[in-house]
Structure 1
């Protein structure tokens, strides 16, 4: 059967819940080509809202990951019939009708092991294989095994996985790098894009497009034939991000695409659904209630777009830089997203070259050239000397210095002079005792001060090295590596994010407790150990 590519607008219409009285015990990745279960807020909306609003679980993600133990339509009907009765106990009802997703996973390989041994031993703990999933599960089956981040994150995430895959390759597990690349290619073929994660409630959005980097990694392992093999999926992902571009008029936006007044075509984050995120439902409802003057659907789409960015949440997306209710993600053209799509365009051109399609090489090379010019024109702040985001609705640059400024260096699109000035700005404005800061704002959001994140450290190191700023790259990488090693020495774990202020703690803020595991931290740590090894301690103060 030919795979059905689901656009973000059509996937809801194509979802269905099996309606036979004797449903199959499982459904497989092959079934996903024609069906996916309804996400929880659609399968049993009244129960879903009551559970989330009543905070039956402390973490809103817990219920959307729970497994219905029978047909959701029947659970819904029973709930509607019983909820008005005296003595109805919603917690007991949930316990009777759902298998809970379990407590947050806390991987615990051998205590006191050297950090590299600890990470190598974590990979099997974090590995999953779900070519079949139970009927009615919110989990999307995948044909190959994969690695999850850890903790509450029990599914495979898009941009997390690239940095995890770097670590897997460093650990010698090249087979799993190929398996995960194949999983992402499969999702593009099946759903028309790579979802935020392999859950039904993530299907309406993607995440920072690192698939081209995954293909590049696989090509380093096996040779350039990998480019040709994944060319169809590279082009399909590009089509997802560029859908609607041809019909746009200057000053307008459609889905992920923006056309500026001068005709430049750039991209933004966006989500197909203007509803609260199921996994953070109560938080999103509360945020929209704080700004009654704004349509709540507009706030919810901006929150979802912020989740698609991976920076959920950050002052980057906030109108006042402080309050989440001022979020305007869809009004912003992000420098990191457009740098990644520039790299995607270049990668497609290279893939076309490997199959000797020169017309394709020229077409995508031209698109990359036009995007590079638009980035240098609109996202370069000549006065401040670094790359910024752009508010396309107000036709003006955003002013904040963030770690996203290094993505043009990471992808190689930056002019040398601009790269040099960006390096100076980063050294002066973002360098911290524990690595490179995410932003300069401190507001309680997890993608702001004082937190630092492993993928941004790696982007900084690679981008700065690419433009011969090796000393600054080493300073950033070594400081972060020391931060990771210090916390590991104290608590025997690697965590999702770190407090870079020098206290040697894990990060804070955000919508949930600090998680350990942790996929992308493990991967980046192994890469930094490979670069700097035991030199980190001596370089921290330099």
Structure 2
């Protein structure tokens, strides 16, 4: 059971709580306080904090005293990241988006491309020399941050950042991101949720092999493949370890192995501790609180933080129960990891490993088809684990435990069509899947909704997220059906238009969008909507590279 043992992090959480009491909840972001770099040694700061005057009844520190203390002992959050111009950035790279013929769209695409400069950082040398003063982790290469409050590398964001960088011909920057993530695996055994000490307890959707594959397909860099393959093997071991892997026995007595999200954490998440603690007031016992904290941290590992997808009661975040769910998209990502490892091993001549992972991936394909495919829906679905169906750690398959609610994740396996089509098309009816998607209600006027439930959580309706658009669009575009490819292009056009409209209205690229209203960014969740924004930029550029924009296509929605 992981606990807060980092002295700096424990102290910063005390400061976070004091800040909420002293300054009030208005515009309060708990993450800011656990990101503060310490100017001096920790004991001096703790002593000064303990000596601050406090109101006798509430214990609140006067704002002026608290602000003075922060300025005296801490630098601003994210000041331990230093702006650096990417070595391979060009204002208009040769061969950039050759299919984008419309002048207005091309001008905007170049502005999106230029955002990479704004999001490019390197970790300050002070983090390397005094790691005990920072929650930021040292990374050797240039980093691309998502933007706004997210001033560190994030795992699955980086895949779509890299897709955009490759469209921008920034191959060295893309390769540097991969090597940063590899350094995390080599140090911690897995890629962290993000490059902060408080993220060590969890990962995020495993897309590192996909990043490497995209770079290899562009550059043919065999040395990168050799460098990364041992780390990918270690990452695969992480996702099939006892922490994540679950055994399910089907009705024929055959055992199957699938993976789930599960953080090693039973406390409030440091980056959101005050909010987690407030939510936990519903529970009366320490064990109930610990279980809630574990589920919330595990949901953060999914990248979908937060969603009715993980909740027993869609109107109550405290009913999050993600560790009881086998997510179809996670197992799709692990399947692709296995297939990528096999491909990479073959490239470098390791035929034994290549053959081993061919067999491993075949087993997962069969398991996904057997347990997570719902032929009546024409969709892949999550599976709820029920302790009543378990015996000695093995769950007995129950078709009633499939979650038949509609989420965009139900169509993420389509993404495999763009990468390993022979593994998917032989087993499923493309027309059935496409018709199911069209009838699902997920495809709205300006993109694919995350779910059909408007719960106020940010990974629910009416929000649309760039990664989900991209994966489903790529899958549709790679299908044999002309109608599927036309649908992919239609979704792309509308998604690009709403991104464009929002940019013209606000001057920014946003983290998420409202798929019901053109140019309106998304909302909900536990923090304010963010701009920047790494993966949104990447998806815009990747889609424009793939589909282009003809001279005569309007860029507005009129």
Q: TM-score, normalised by structure 2?
A: 0.83
Q: Once structures 1 and 2 are overlaid, which stretch shifts more, 495-504 or 290-299?
A: 290-299
Can you list the C-alpha shifts for 1:218-253, whole angstroms capped at 9, x where unaligned?
211221613333110110111111222xxxxxxxxx
Partner SS state of residue 128, structure 1: strand
May I ask how many residue pairs the two structures share in their alignment? 495
Q: Is the 8 A contact 1:478 1:528 kept in 2?
A: no
Is 2:531 the partner of 1:516? yes
Q: Indicate the residue corresponding to 1:28 in structure 2.
A: none
Q: CA deviation at 1:373?
A: 1.0
Pairwise CA RMSD of aligned residues?
2.7
Aligned equivalents of 1:305 and 1:311: distance in 2?
Answer: 10
Q: Indicate the residue corresponding to 2:392 in structure 1.
A: none
- TM alignment of 1:51-200, pairs within 5 A: 51-52=19-20, 58-82=28-52, 88-89=61-62, 90-101=66-77, 114-130=107-123, 132-134=125-127, 135=130, 136-200=133-197
Q: Once structures 1 and 2 are overlaid, which stretch shifts more, 46-55 or 170-179?
A: 46-55
Of the candidates 405, 420, 431, which is equivalent to residue 443 of structure 2? 431
Is 2:421 the partner of 1:411? no
Aligned equivalents of 1:63 and 1:431: distance in 2?
Answer: 39
Q: Indicate the residue corresponding to 2:264 in structure 1.
A: 272
Q: CA deviation at 1:82?
A: 4.3
Q: CA deviation at 1:537?
A: 5.3
Partner SS state of residue 153, structure 1: coil
Q: CA deviation at 1:10?
A: 8.1
Can you list the C-alpha shifts for 1:399-448, whole angstroms capped at 9, x where unaligned?
21111122211124435534432221221221101111111111101111
Q: Is the 8 A contact 1:146 1:179 kept in 2?
A: yes
Q: Indicate the residue corresponding to 2:317 in structure 1.
A: 324
Give the 3 Å change call, closer, same or farther, for CA 388–55 of structure 1 in structure 2.
farther
Partner SS state of residue 197, structure 1: coil
Aligned equivalents of 1:258 and 1:12: distance in 2?
Answer: 27
Aligned equivalents of 2:283 and 2:140: distance in 1?
Answer: 43
Partner SS state of residue 319, structure 1: coil
Is 2:471 the partner of 1:501? no
Partner SS state of residue 549, structure 2: helix
Can you list the C-alpha shifts for 1:73-113, whole angstroms capped at 9, x where unaligned?
3322333354668695344433332222279x9x9x9x999
Give the 3 Å change call, closer, same or farther, for CA 48–482 of structure 1 in structure 2.
closer
Q: Is the 8 A contact 1:228 1:354 kept in 2?
A: no
Q: Is the 8 A contact 1:499 1:507 kept in 2?
A: yes
Q: TM-score, normalised by structure 1?
A: 0.85
Of the candidates 455, 472, 475, which is equivalent to residue 460 of structure 1? 472
Q: Is the 8 A contact 1:475 1:540 kept in 2?
A: no
Of the candidates 402, 406, 430, which is equivalent to residue 407 of structure 2? 402
Can you list the C-alpha shifts for 1:300-320, whole angstroms capped at 9, x where unaligned?
111111111111111110112
Q: Indicate the residue corresponding to 2:340 in structure 1.
A: 347
Give the 3 Å change call, closer, same or farther, for CA 261–514 of structure 1 in structure 2.
same
Q: Is the 8 A contact 1:52 1:281 kept in 2?
A: no
Q: Indicate the residue corresponding to 2:202 in structure 1.
A: 205
Q: CA deviation at 1:530?
A: 1.7
Q: Indicate the residue corresponding to 1:23 in structure 2.
A: none
Aligned equivalents of 2:12 and 2:29: distance in 1?
Answer: 19
Q: CA deviation at 1:42?
A: 2.4
- TM alignment of 1:39-54, pairs within 5 A: 40-43=8-11, 46-52=14-20
Q: Higher RCO, 1 or 2 (CA under 8 Å, sep at least 6)?
A: 2
Aligned equivalents of 2:21 and 2:256: distance in 1?
Answer: 44
Can you list the C-alpha shifts for 1:121-155, whole angstroms capped at 9, x where unaligned?
11111100116244301111111101111111111
Give the 3 Å change call, closer, same or farther, for CA 400–85 of structure 1 in structure 2.
closer
Can you list the C-alpha shifts for 1:272-330, whole angstroms capped at 9, x where unaligned?
11111111112211222224477111111111111111111111101122221110011
Q: Indicate the residue corresponding to 2:383 in structure 1.
A: 390
Give the 3 Å change call, closer, same or farther, for CA 431–538 of structure 1 in structure 2.
farther
Partner SS state of residue 431, structure 2: helix
Q: Is the 8 A contact 1:276 1:300 kept in 2?
A: yes
Q: Once structures 1 and 2 are overlaid, which stretch shifts more, 510-519 or 418-427?
A: 418-427
Q: Once structures 1 and 2 are overlaid, which stretch shifts more, 48-57 or 159-168?
A: 48-57
Q: Once structures 1 and 2 are overlaid, which stretch shifts more, 55-64 or 426-435?
A: 55-64
Q: CA deviation at 1:184?
A: 1.0
Give the 3 Å change call, closer, same or farther, for CA 74–261 of structure 1 in structure 2.
farther
Aligned equivalents of 2:460 and 2:553: distance in 1?
Answer: 26
Q: CA deviation at 1:48?
A: 4.3
Give the 3 Å change call, closer, same or farther, for CA 175–83 of structure 1 in structure 2.
same
Q: CA deviation at 1:266?
A: 0.6
Q: CA deviation at 1:40?
A: 4.4
Q: Indicate the residue corresponding to 1:256 in structure 2.
A: 244
